[in-house]
Structure 1
Amino acid sequence: MKTDTLFYKIFQDFPQFFFELCGLPSSTANLYTFTSVEVKQLAFRLDGLFLPSTPNPELPFYLAEVQFQPDETLYYRLFSELFLYLKQYQPPHPWQVVVIYP
């Protein structure tokens, strides 16, 4: 957010404005500390991706995830992978995620 210096400065100096924009009481700002954090990007490999073979934008693409081991962070990882894919490739299709458990 530091590249958006105007909003960074406003939210740093007047954090209550953010919560007022969200429809919350300005006093909610007293419960938070505003900061800017750099998020490092991990390398993800999708288990499977079924992409439409025609350019029909109504056909969804499917992200297939096969999970044989318990993983408490499965959905955090899965949605991270999905949204990173969406950001990088910007497919014109809707999407569906299919998780296969044994």
Structure 2
Amino acid sequence: MSRLKVSEQKEAFRFLNRQLNRRFGEISLPIIEKMRLLSTEQLEILGEEFLDFSAISDLVTWLDRQK
């Protein structure tokens, strides 16, 4: 993966992590670790999808389906 792609992925992760923390409170480490494995594209999709989540369990379910 190029430096630019890695940088984009890290920025997408940081932005989404801040949004999720604001919505659901502090996100647990196991969930964060799953999120770190997502591509930039997956993080962008999650950035839209999480708006429909009503609980952290919705996030966990979404992450589990990304395998």
TM-score by length of 2: 0.32
Question: More relative contact order in 1 or in 2 (CA 8 Å, sep 6+)?
Answer: 2
Q: Would you tell me which structure has more helix in proportion to its own residues?
A: 2
Q: Would you tell me which structure has more strand in proportion to its own residues?
A: 1
TM-score by length of 1: 0.23
